[in-house]
A and B are shown apart, each in its own frame.
Chain A
Amino acid sequence: MNRISEAAPAVRLAAVQEKAREAISQHATLPKIEIGIATCGIAAGALETRSAFEQALSEFNIKAYIHPVGCIGHCYAEPLVKIHHPDSGFPPIFYHEVHPGKARMLVKQFLGGGDPCFEHIYGAAQTNDLIPSVSEFARFNREVRVVMENCGRINPEDLFEYIAAGGYKGLVSAMEMPPEEVIRKINESGLRGRGGAGFPAGIKWRMARDAPGTGKIVICNADEGDPGAYMDRTILESNPHQVLEGMAICAHAIGAQKGYIYVRAEYPLAVRIITRAISQAKESGLLGNTILGSALTFDIEVFQGSGAFVCGEETALIQSMEGYRGMPRCRPPYPVEKGFDDRPTVINNVKTLASAPAILMKGPEWYRSVGTEGSPGTAIFSVVGDVVHSGLVEIPMGITLRELIFDICGGIPKKKKFKAVQIGGPSGGCLPERFLDTPIDFDSLKQAGAMMGSGGMVVMDEDACIVDVARFFIDFTQNESCGKCTFCRIGTRHMLDILKRITEGKGKEEDLMLLQRLGEDIRDGSLCGLGKTAPNPVLTSLRYFKEEYDAHILEGRCPGLWCRHLIAYYIDLDKCARGCDVCVGCCPTDAVFTTSTRKKGIDQERCVKCGECMTACPPDYNAVKKVSPAHLAPVIPRPAGSPGEH
């Protein structure tokens, strides 16, 4: 390659950048309404909000540009809208939970009348003298965004917006270097695989480059399946081009010409957006033959998986792509030697690939400056469960769980106490309060017994039952086990049976030893990563929450007041209000009766413990109580001859 052709990609990209600038400048003068329309936004009603804005704009005859963007990660505030009305003198302003009524009001008063409706403001997008800026909130200022930098800022369906935000510059820098140099940079950056195991990406790329064979392949693993995790989906829906760019960089580095994105069919919006992004990138010469006028040829196809959790395991993923049943096989040979179609294949997670452009653009030293020595860069978590500011958070590696859960995500709602955090989904572990000061990085979490996983984090308050949580995850893995190997197929089923028994109050003392031993054998004996890690939720909870298991087995008591067989509802007669009938009407089994003093009681034999009465009882009375073990509920006699008596 001579010097002139080396410069070609940068020149070609500059031409596309020019086009992008032109396209974007068309809307530059109008007020801008940004609405987050990824799956989470849509679920919260973002599409209705958008039509309400459109309707109101035409009704009040106001001109504004509605800018659909991806997800910024603040799920608790969806539908989240940012309005920039330069003529009003206000900076761009975020509004949270903008439902159609609020949308109409904002058009009328802010865009029409210049009043930004202070009481509805979430925060300003920039620091200013008029309105507190969101950058003062920990949820914004403690995040460091590498992968999600442009998520929720650009229209994911418009290549030009990504280009205008500096997109594809990383690819151009990569193309200006020999492949070995790219691999060296990735290696130096210390980037570790974000799929969960944390294998160094540079080493994987190097092995694929060195592997003999032609037709090498890059696969982006977007088969995200942990309950409560949705990082990969959001990235694909909010900034697909960054993933494509990362794949192209990898292709250049390892010498691949073909790439696949393995995404589950249950992510229809992600499939649509990524497919569209691929065709746009091809039209602009950023993918396909002779990328940006160079000798690099790389094409990407979307492969829709059928949603089997185990297909996120790389060998099962390959089997599934080859048309076989998604069952893992023994490694070695590793996919980098013999992968899809027996060709050397790099399989990287969405977040790993999406980190590559920034590393190429800003350099490995910069990447290493974020995060810790052993785990450089950022981690993306979907923090869900009993936490105030749930959603996607991108944080530098090394901050503690406490900082993430309490400082950034606002802690536990309703003044309840923290009980546990489950990290890494069904493969991860449950950590108690004393681990809150554990730094978040691959090695520390593993040491604590959990794992980084791909980024699912479920926070649980004092009302959670750890045994039931373990049961839930084992139920999940048992359902998702491919059934190939003995330990995972049958072993997890026995674990599930034992856990069910315990949550029903039928546990035996020796069950805990059996769970422990069986769990260890499943861990040591299973074929693939899914099976080896399946017992983790049980093993960690046995280690850290043994007293909860003991309470279930020895006392018939569920400390979280959760397990239906071990609790009872009763009505506190001191608090119950005479004449109030709310709980009677909502009881599906006529278990609530009126006492001789015109207060209420619950017939324990009829009660199915649905908890409706507790929800219905007005907070001023708060008379319905839960208790465990069930026999502690005071017995209130049903008056003879009362309705429903049997």
Chain B
Amino acid sequence: MAGPDMDMVEIVINGKNISVKAGRPLLETCLSNGIYIPNLCHVEGMTSPPASCRLCFIEVEGIPAPVPSCVTTVEPGMVVSTDTAAVRKLQRTALKLLLSVHDIDCRNCPVNRKCPLQQIARFLKIGLKSAPFETRLKKDLLDDRHPFFNYYPNRCVLCGRCVYLCHRKNGYPKISFAGRGFGAFIRIDLPLPDDAVSCHECRECATSCPVAALRLK
């Protein structure tokens, strides 16, 4: 939502006065001001963020409950806290839920040490364990039906970055969400129109996947 007509306004984040662009999502605002907020599904410049990972909560004075910062935009005079107890409680539960369906095998994972889940866990001071929730992995370990990349359902956090970026680059998504509830997954073998852009040249999805759930073959 960046535009030339945006005014700079004063807001308070974690007790500090900061001059920021009005109308910009608070998540982007905080990140670019060096204030880290855990997040997975957001892509810089999104016009309507999916707000699906439920990690980027913040508290804004005047709003009774934590709100996702990706869909909350800067308004003059806002008083924002990114580290309240309520925020941390939700973030920790969300991360633990994600870890409970994630195949935690960091040593053998291609994105070990670069993984946002590791980063967020360290930030939230919790171990890479799902307790008190039991681990629930899907039966299918690998979907290799796509000619150029593989999909690992038990690594996927369903952030949807791949679907969004594919859509943005190609004008339509060549992969999509499928299934319901716990069984939801990214479907990579969609029937495509004849003029489908060749995935061979694009690879946006695989390179954008933060948790190595989509890997080039």
- Give the B-binding residues of A (Cβ under 8 A): 308, 325, 327, 329-330, 478-487, 489-494, 497, 510, 514, 517-518, 521, 524-527
| Residues B54 and A490 in contact, CB atoms below 8 Å apart | no
Q: A330-B51, A526-B54, A527-B54 are in contact. Are A484 and B177 (CB under 8 A)?
A: yes
Q: Please give 9 more A-B residue pairs, beta carbons under 8 A apart, in addition to A492-B182, A524-B90, A527-B54.
A: A484-B160, A486-B94, A493-B181, A494-B134, A497-B134, A517-B93, A518-B93, A525-B66, A525-B94
Q: How far is the CA of A329 from the CA of B46 in the complex (A)?
A: 13
Q: Which residues of B contact A484 (CB under 8 A)?
A: 50, 52, 158, 160, 177, 184
Q: Which residues of B contact A486 (CB under 8 A)?
A: 52-55, 94, 97-98, 157-158
Checking B51, B57, B86, B98 against A490 with a beta-carbon cut-off of 8 angstroms, the contacting residue is B98
Interface membership of B101, Cβ < 8 A: yes
Q: Is the interface of B mostly helix, strand, loop or mixed?
A: loop
What are 18 residue pairs bridging A and B, where the CB atoms are less than 8 Å apart in the complex?
A329-B48, A329-B51, A330-B50, A481-B180, A481-B181, A482-B180, A483-B180, A483-B184, A484-B50, A484-B160, A484-B184, A485-B53, A486-B157, A489-B182, A490-B136, A494-B133, A518-B93, A521-B89
| Residues A525 and B134 in contact, CB atoms below 8 Å apart | no
Within 8 A of A (CB), among B29-57: 48-55, 57
Within 8 A of A (CB), among B75-91: 86, 89-90
Measured CB to CB, the nearest residue on chain A to B136 is A493
Q: A330-B68, A489-B158, A527-B51 are in contact. Are A521 and B90 (CB under 8 A)?
A: yes
| Residues B182 and A524 in contact, CB atoms below 8 Å apart | no
A327 to chain B minimum Cβ distance, whole angstroms, is: 7
Within 8 A of A (CB), among B163-202: 176-177, 179-184
Q: Which residues of A contact B179 (CB under 8 A)?
A: 483
A475 to chain B minimum Cβ distance, whole angstroms, is: 10
Interface membership of B65, Cβ < 8 A: yes
| Residues B184 and A482 in contact, CB atoms below 8 Å apart | yes
A173 to chain B minimum Cβ distance, whole angstroms, is: 40
B104 to chain A minimum Cβ distance, whole angstroms, is: 14
B60 to chain A minimum Cβ distance, whole angstroms, is: 14
Measured CB to CB, the nearest residue on chain B to A329 is B48
Q: A486-B97, A514-B132 are in contact. Are A525 and B57 (CB under 8 A)?
A: yes
Q: Which residues of A contact B86 (CB under 8 A)?
A: 524
| Residues A483 and B97 in contact, CB atoms below 8 Å apart | no
| Residues A490 and B97 in contact, CB atoms below 8 Å apart | yes
A92 to chain B minimum Cβ distance, whole angstroms, is: 49
Q: Which residues of B contact A518 (CB under 8 A)?
A: 93, 133
| Residues B177 and A325 in contact, CB atoms below 8 Å apart | yes
Q: A494-B100, A494-B136 are in contact. Are A325 and B180 (CB under 8 A)?
A: no
| Residues A524 and B184 in contact, CB atoms below 8 Å apart | no
Interface membership of B71, Cβ < 8 A: yes
Chain A CB within 10 Å, residue with most, of B57, B160, B180, B184: B180
Q: How far is the CA of A493 from the CA of B98 in the complex (A)?
A: 12
Q: Which residues of A contact B65 (CB under 8 A)?
A: 524
Q: Which residues of A contact B52 (CB under 8 A)?
A: 484-486, 527
Q: Which residues of B contact A492 (CB under 8 A)?
A: 181-182
Q: Which residues of A contact B66 (CB under 8 A)?
A: 524-525
Q: Which residues of A contact B136 (CB under 8 A)?
A: 490, 493-494, 497
Measured CB to CB, the nearest residue on chain A to B51 is A330
Q: How far is the CA of A521 from the CA of B48 in the complex (A)?
A: 24
| Residues B182 and A478 in contact, CB atoms below 8 Å apart | yes
Q: How far is the CA of A330 from the CA of B182 in the complex (A)?
A: 21
Q: How far is the CA of A329 from the CA of B133 in the complex (A)?
A: 27
Q: How far is the CA of A484 from the CA of B182 in the complex (A)?
A: 10
Chain A CB within 10 Å, residue with most, of B57, B71, B179, B181: B181
| Residues B181 and A478 in contact, CB atoms below 8 Å apart | yes
A343 to chain B minimum Cβ distance, whole angstroms, is: 16
Q: Which residues of B contact A527 (CB under 8 A)?
A: 51-52, 54
Measured CB to CB, the nearest residue on chain B to A521 is B93
Q: How far is the CA of A329 from the CA of B158 in the complex (A)?
A: 15
B55 to chain A minimum Cβ distance, whole angstroms, is: 8
